Amino acid sequence: MKKLVLFFFMIISSIVLAQSQKSQKVKYVSIKQKVCPNQKGFQLVLKAIATDSRCPEGVTCIWAGEVTAVVSVYKDSKLIKDTTLVFSMKNEEDNKKWFATYLPAKQKNIKSIRLLPYPKEGTKINPEEYHLKIGYLR
């Protein structure tokens, strides 16, 4: 009987301890190519895409590629600086830290940074369609 009680205790404790944490919701903020006038605080604007060598969908590549973009930083609607960022797997953490410097406190826990739209085979991207999509945990 002692073994049976011990067995049930172990089963119940393992079920209770195995419960997953609350799933964290990812929210998104977009950085586009226009400045909003009269905005207080920092504002990021995607100024230009210098290079986009990402492997298009529908093509087999040996290298994933990267994107070089110029991001402008404004404070209280005044240009502070332009920064050239390279978006690739090896620069991901550095880019997260850079963006966290200028984003509001509730958006600093960055999960992902994506440049959209992603290239497709045989399709040319209109430069005005580019935007950055930053996912952050709330």
Question: What stretches in the chain show pLDDT beneath 50?
Answer: none
For strand 26-31 and strand 67-75, is the pairing parallel, antiparallel, or unpaired? unpaired
Burial status of residue 75 (CB atoms within 10 A of its CB: 0-12, 13-18, 19 or more): middle
Residue pair 103/29 in contact (Cβ under 8 Å)? The answer is yes
Report the pLDDT value the prediction gives residue 128, as an integer from 0 to 100: 93
Residue owning tokens 């090896």? 90
Burial status of residue 42 (CB atoms within 10 A of its CB: 0-12, 13-18, 19 or more): middle
The identity of residue 6, as a single letter, is L
Alpha-helical runs (H) found in the chain: 2-17, 92-102
Residues 6+ apart with CB under 8 A from 115: 49, 52, 67, 69, 87, 130, 131, 132, 133
Report the pLDDT value the prediction gives residue 15, as an integer from 0 to 100: 63
Report the pLDDT value the prediction gives residue 1, as an integer from 0 to 100: 62
Report the pLDDT value the prediction gives residue 4, as an integer from 0 to 100: 54
| Residue ranges covered by each domain of the chain | 26-137
Handedness of CA 96, 97, 98, 102 (dihedral sign): positive
Report the pLDDT value the prediction gives residue 36, as an integer from 0 to 100: 76
Share of the chain residues as helix, strand and coil, in percent rounded to the nearest 5: 25, 40, 35
The identity of residue 128, as a single letter, is E
pTM, two decimals, is: 0.77
Report the pLDDT value the prediction gives residue 64, as an integer from 0 to 100: 85
